[in-house]
Amino acid sequence: MPLAEPAVVVDRLVMKYGDKLAVNSLSLQVDRGTITSVLGPNGAGKTTTLETCEGYRRPMSGSVRVLGLDPQKDRRALLPRIGVMLQSGGAWSGVRAMEMLDHIAKLHANPLDTGMLSERLGLADCGRTPYRRLSGGQQQRLGLAMALVGRPEVVFVDEPTAGMDPHARRTTWDLLQEMRADGVTVVLTTHHMDEAERLSDMVHIIDHGRVIASGTPEALTSSNHKATLRMVLPLLPDGALQGLSAILGPDLEVSPIDDARVQALGPADSGTLAAVARWYEHHEVLPFSLTLGQRTLEDVFLELTGREMEA
Amino acid sequence: MSTGTFTPDPGGAPLGRQVMAQAGMEARLILRNGEQLLLAVVIPVVVLLGGIVASKRIDLNLSERPIDLLAPGVLALAIMSTAFTSTAIATGFERRYGVIKRLGASPLPRHGLLLGKVLALLVVEAFQIVVVAALALSLGWDPSVSILGVLLASVLGTAAFGALGLLVAGLLRAEATLAFANLVYLLLMVGGAVVIPVDEYGALGQVVRWLPSGALGESMREALIHGSPAWIPLLVLVGWAAVGAALTARTFRWE
C-alpha cells in the first residue's frame, strides 16, 4: 500500500453559517497511519471541519481531500472507506445496542466481528438495551464501535471520550492506539488537552476557525529544551515586571488572570531559578503559586491566544 | 504489514444486501413500536368492526352489503396509516436522532435508504392486509378480486402517501410531525373518503375524490367490489405521488 499520499488534506477551507465565519481559511494535513488531534475550544470550527471531510458539508471555498478523493463528488467511493463517529446520536431510540451495531456491520463487505468489538468496548452486557436507555458513555462507545466496524482506512471521531468515565476513556485510548498500530488513520477532535497530548502523533490547535499551531505534542510543548516556570503573582508595578523579564528573557509571557493576579510563564534553568528567588526577595513578593515543569498544550494555547481553553 | 484486528479492509456490502438489511431493520422497528402497531392494525380492525355494527343501526342506504363495502376501505385505511403516518413519524424522529445523518456516512446510498423504507412499508402493509382480510373473510366478506387493481392501488397509494409523509417529516420538527401526521390521518379517515365511499359525501364527493385518500379508497373498492382496476383514481394517486416526490426532493433535509 503506497503511503505517500496523505490521508486528509484540507486546503484554505472556508465555511460560514449565515454571516458567521465558522472556518476561516483553515489548512491542515493528516498523514496516514497516525493519530491526529484537532484541538480547540468549543465553537472553534472542529466539528465543521470534520463534517466537511465526511462529505456532510460543501466547502464554500478551499478544498478538502480524503484518501485523495473529493468528499462531495466522490462520496460513494469514499464513504465505504471511512468510519464516522458523530458527536451524538446516530441510532434509533428503540433499537437495541447490538442490533444497531449488527445493522451497520451488514452494510459493509468485510465487517469486524461485532461480538469481539462489543466485548472490547465493554458493551457486551448492554447489548439488548434500547439505545435511549444507554448511559451517555455507553452511547459514545456504541458510536465508536459503529465507526470501526466496517474496517475503515480512516476514522473520524468527534469528541470520542465525551461523557466517558476514566476507565472507559483509557479503554478507548488503548483501542485507538491499537488501530493505529494496525494501519488505521485516526482523526479526532477534542477539547481535552490531556487526550491530545497523550494520544496523538500530531496536533493541530485551532481557534476561531484557523489553525494556530501544528506539531507533535513534544514539539509544541518543548521550548528551547528548557523547563517552563509558571507563577501566579499579585499585581506589581510595571518596573518590577521589567526586572523579571530581564531574568527570564524575551520569551516571558505575562497575562492577567483577574483584577488581582497575573500569570507569568517563561523558560527557566537552574540559574534563572536563583535569580527569580532574589527578585522575589528584592520586591518583597510571595507568588500565589510557583510551578516548574514541561509546558503543556494548555500553556501553548494560553500563550497563543491569551485565553484558557474552556474544558 | 502483519494483519491485526483492525487492519483496514473496507468496502460496502452489495447494494441488495444493504437494502434488505435496512428494510428488515425498519420493519422490525415499526412492528415493535406499540403506538405504530396500534395505528397499523388495531385502528383498522376497530373501524371494520365498528362500521359493521353501525351500519346495522343506521340505514346508510348502501348499494352493497356493509362488509363488502367496508373491507376494501379499511384496507385502504391501513395502507394510508402505514405509508403516511408511520413514515412521517418514524422519519421525523430519525432526523431528530441523527439516524439519517449517520446512515448518510455509511455505504448505504440515499436511494438504497429510500428503497429500504419502501420495502419495509410493503412488508408491514402485507402484514396488515393479511390481518384485515382474514378478519373480514371470517365476517362473511365476499370480494370479487382484481389482483392487478389491488396491487396498483397498494403500490401507488404507498407511493403517494409515502412521498407526502416524507414531505411532512422534512418540513416540520419531530414533535410537530407527530401531531400533524396523526391529525391528518384522523381528518382523512373521517372526511377523506377512505373508508366511506365518495358517493356518500354528496356534493363534497366531487372534492374528496381528488384527495389521495379518496383516490386510494375508490381504487381499492373498485378492485375488490367490481373486480377491475379503477384507472382514474389510480391516475390521481400517480399525480399525488409525483407532486409529493417533487416537493420532497426540493425540501427534504437529511439532518
What are the residues whose beta carbons fall under 8 Å from the beta carbon of B41, sequence distance 6 or more? Answer: B78, B127, B128, B131, B132
Q: In percent, how much of chain B has pLDDT > 90? A: 80
Q: Tell the CATH topology of A8-220.
A: Rossmann fold (3.40.50)
Is A1 a residue whose pLDDT tops 60?
no
Distance in angstroms (rounded) separating the CA atoms of residues A306 and A253: 9
Average pLDDT in chain B = 92
- Does the CB of A174 have a partner CB in chain B at under 8 Å? no
Residues of B in contact with A55 (CB under 8 A): 105
What per-residue confidence (pLDDT) applies to A134?
Answer: 95
Q: Do B7 and A183 touch (CB under 8 A)?
A: yes
Average pLDDT in chain A = 89
Confidence of residue B249 (pLDDT cuts 50, 70, 90): confident
Is B105 a residue whose pLDDT tops 90?
yes
ipTM for the whole predicted complex goes beyond 0.85: yes
Q: Domain limits of chain B?
A: 15-251
- Measure A22 CA to nearest chain B CA, in Å: 19
Closest in B18, B102, B109 to A76, CB measured:
B109
What per-residue confidence (pLDDT) applies to A310?
Answer: 59
What are the residues whose beta carbons fall under 8 Å from the beta carbon of A117, sequence distance 6 or more? Answer: A101, A123, A145, A148, A149
Is B92 a residue whose pLDDT tops 60?
yes
CA distances from A82 to A50, B90, B162 (A): 12, 27, 31
Is B27 a residue whose pLDDT tops 80?
yes
Q: Please, is A27 exposed, middle or buried when counting C-beta atoms within 10 Å of its C-beta (0-12, 13-18, 19+)?
A: middle
- Does the CB of A92 have a partner CB in chain B at under 8 Å? yes
Give the tens place of pLDDT for each residue, B124-139: 999 999 999 999 999 9
Work out the average pLDDT over A13-24: 93
Q: Are A284 and A240 in contact (CB under 8 A)?
A: no
- CATH class (in words) of the domain with range A223-293: alpha beta
- Does the CB of A134 have a partner CB in chain B at under 8 Å? no
What per-residue confidence (pLDDT) applies to A90?
Answer: 94
Give the tens place of pLDDT for each residue, B146-174: 999 999 999 999 999 999 999 999 999 99
Is B61 a residue whose pLDDT tops 70?
no
Q: Best interface-test mutation with B: which of A182, A184, A186, A187 has the largest number of B CBs within 10 A?
A: A182
Distance in angstroms (rounded) separating the CA atoms of residues A251 and B119: 67
Give the tens place of pLDDT for each residue, A270-302: 788 888 888 888 888 888 888 887 777 887 887
What are the residues whose beta carbons fall under 8 Å from the beta carbon of B25, sequence distance 6 or more? Answer: A95, A99, A103, B116, B120
Output phi, psi for B71, to 5 deg: -55, -45
- Does the CB of A71 have a partner CB in chain B at under 8 Å? no
What are the residues whose beta carbons fall under 8 Å from the beta carbon of B187, sequence distance 6 or more? Answer: none
What per-residue confidence (pLDDT) applies to B23?
Answer: 97
**Helix/strand number for chain A, H first, E second:** 11, 13
- Does the CB of A23 have a partner CB in chain B at under 8 Å? no
pLDDT greater at residue A173 or residue A2: A173
Q: Do B98 and A153 touch (CB under 8 A)?
A: no
What per-residue confidence (pLDDT) applies to B38?
Answer: 85
Question: How many other C-beta atoms can be found within 10 angstroms of the C-beta atom of residue B42?
Answer: 12
Q: Best interface-test mutation with A: which of B97, B110, B175, B178 has the largest number of A CBs within 10 A?
A: B97
- With left for phi above 0 and alpha for psi between -120 and 50, is residue B41 left, alpha or beta? alpha
Distance in angstroms (rounded) separating the CA atoms of residues A186 and B195: 57
Report how far Cα B64 is from the mean position of its chain's Cα atoms.
26
pLDDT greater at residue B254 or residue B64: B64
Is A137 a residue whose pLDDT tops 80?
yes
What per-residue confidence (pLDDT) applies to A304?
Answer: 80
What per-residue confidence (pLDDT) applies to B102?
Answer: 95
Q: What is the 3-state secondary structure (H, E, C) of chain B?
A: CCCCCCCCCCCECCHHHHHHHHHHHHHHHHHHCHHHHHHHHHHHHHHHHHHHHHHHHCCCCCCCCHHHHHHHHHHHHHHHHHHHHHHHHHHHHHHHCCHHHHHHCCCCCHHHHHHHHHHHHHHHHHHHHHHHHHHHHHCCCCCCCCHHHHHHHHHHHHHHHHHHHHHHHHHCCHHHHHHHHHHHHHHHHHHCCCCCCHHHHHHHHHHHCCCHHHHHHHHHHHHHHHCCCCHHHHHHHHHHHHHHHHHHHHHCCCC
Q: With both helix axes pointing from N to C terminus, report the angle between A270-283 and A238-248 in degrees, rounded to the nearest 10.
A: 160
- Measure B76 CA to nearest chain A CA, in Å: 28
Is B44 a residue whose pLDDT tops 80?
yes
Q: Read off the pTM.
A: 0.84
- Does the CB of A128 have a partner CB in chain B at under 8 Å? no
Give the tens place of pLDDT for each residue, A203-230: 999 999 999 999 998 888 875 456 778 8
Confidence of residue A66 (pLDDT cuts 50, 70, 90): very high
- Does the CB of A288 have a partner CB in chain B at under 8 Å? no
Residues of A in contact with B108 (CB under 8 A): 107
Confidence of residue B60 (pLDDT cuts 50, 70, 90): low
What per-residue confidence (pLDDT) applies to B22?
Answer: 97
Q: Domain limits of chain A?
A: 8-220, 223-293
Q: Do A151 and B9 touch (CB under 8 A)?
A: yes
